[in-house]
Amino acid sequence: MGTPLFADTIQVPPTLFLTDADVARLTDWRAAFDALRAAYASTIAASMVPPRSMARGDGTWLRGLTAVSPSGRHMGCKLISASMKARRASYLISLFDQETMGLAALIDGNRITGIRTAVTAAVAVDAAAPCKPLKVAVIGSGFEAKGLLVALAAVRDVARVRVFSPTPVNRQRFASTIHEEYGLHIEAAASASEAIDGADVVLCAARSRDESPVIRGEWLAPGMTVVSIGSTLPEQREVDEQAIARASLIVADMPEEVAHDTGDMLAATRAGVQFAAKLVSLADLVGRKATRKPDDIVLYKSVGSALQDVITAEMLLARARAMGVGTELAHSIVPVAK
């Protein structure tokens, strides 16, 4: 007879469940930055972060992103369920212990998506931008724009900030909120070009309603570092073809997806812009396999990665256990011998 299915089970710690409120309590920009920078400085095989998958229904979809952490502690998956009809989405991150295969944690991933996007951008800027107090331009005034700025200010000195978004009341509210909550010297600008003028770093999180570019290459000056996180699908646009042409170095968290699945790069390809030779991975930038010259324009393009989700979740889990935060589940899955 064969071995029983549930033979040789092992005891593992209870699965910890973290709510969105738990994640808010546990969030630490610096800790997330240190974890993500260490991950991108590690050796990351392509097989550790495979392409995402998506199942589609009638107005619904389920996206799955998986990664193995180079820390050796966990591997995990982020699932995103969304309904275009109901205009609702849910995010779930699961972490498995790499030694026992036990389900270590289930985490509400809603807030983590914003955290990891902002902090990974800060990792890129820290590796690319000059070591001095930074003059920052922010294009956009929403949640993602705020996250980009706050994450960067947590790890680098920010000398001053200018913000632009199309609606005057929104950019003024953004400036007031940032100054009151974080004490940064910030002012609202009347145009995107005015905000960008004289900046060291441009943080862009503001696609236009008609998907026309909101960053134009003619506005960029030598030495600038530009972050673009808003064009992640073929139909989306954020920077124009000239910006891609003028960039000396294009850094991507997922180079293949950035090159072939984002509207900005597809438009550049159609326009005959050759960028393959200057497209590098974020790991190469952090690991100093790719370097910039002082006058180079560096463009960081992000589509998001399961590695970022898993590393951020791993950091939150460690803090949760240290602080006694979260709910231990009464029952969980049981690892079995195979």
Contacts of 266 (CB under 8 A, 6+ apart): 234, 260
- Per-residue confidence in pLDDT tens, the chain, 338 aa: 444 444 466 778 999 999 999 999 999 999 999 999 999 999 899 999 998 899 999 999 999 999 999 999 999 999 999 998 899 999 999 999 999 999 999 999 999 999 999 999 999 999 999 999 999 999 999 999 999 999 999 999 999 999 999 999 999 999 999 999 999 999 999 999 999 999 999 999 987 778 889 999 999 999 999 999 988 888 899 999 999 999 999 999 999 999 999 999 999 999 999 999 999 999 999 999 999 999 999 999 999 999 999 999 999 999 999 999 999 999 999 898 88
Give me the residue label for tokens 């591997």.
75
In this predicted structure, what is the pLDDT of residue 105?
A: 98
In this predicted structure, what is the pLDDT of residue 300?
A: 98
Q: What domains appear along the chain, each with residue ranges and CATH number?
A: 16-113+307-328 (3.30.1780.10), 116-305 (3.40.50.720)
C-alpha–C-alpha distance, residues 216 and 240, integer Å: 5
Count of other CB atoms within 10 angstroms of residue 20:
14
In this predicted structure, what is the pLDDT of residue 3?
A: 43
Would you give the DSSP letter of residue 73? S
C-alpha–C-alpha distance, residues 94 and 69, integer Å: 13
| 3-class state of residue 76 by DSSP | strand
Q: What is the CA radius of gyration of the chain?
A: 21
- Backbone φ and ψ of 268, nearest 5°: -65, -40
In this predicted structure, what is the pLDDT of residue 207?
A: 77
In this predicted structure, what is the pLDDT of residue 5?
A: 47
What distances in angstroms separate CA 46 from CA 70, 276, 295, one per listed residue?
A: 12, 18, 31
Token readout for 27 is: 């969030």
Answer whether 215's CB lies under 8 Å from 226's CB.
yes
In this predicted structure, what is the pLDDT of residue 223?
A: 97
In this predicted structure, what is the pLDDT of residue 9?
A: 63
- pTM score: 0.92
| 3-class state of residue 263 by DSSP | helix
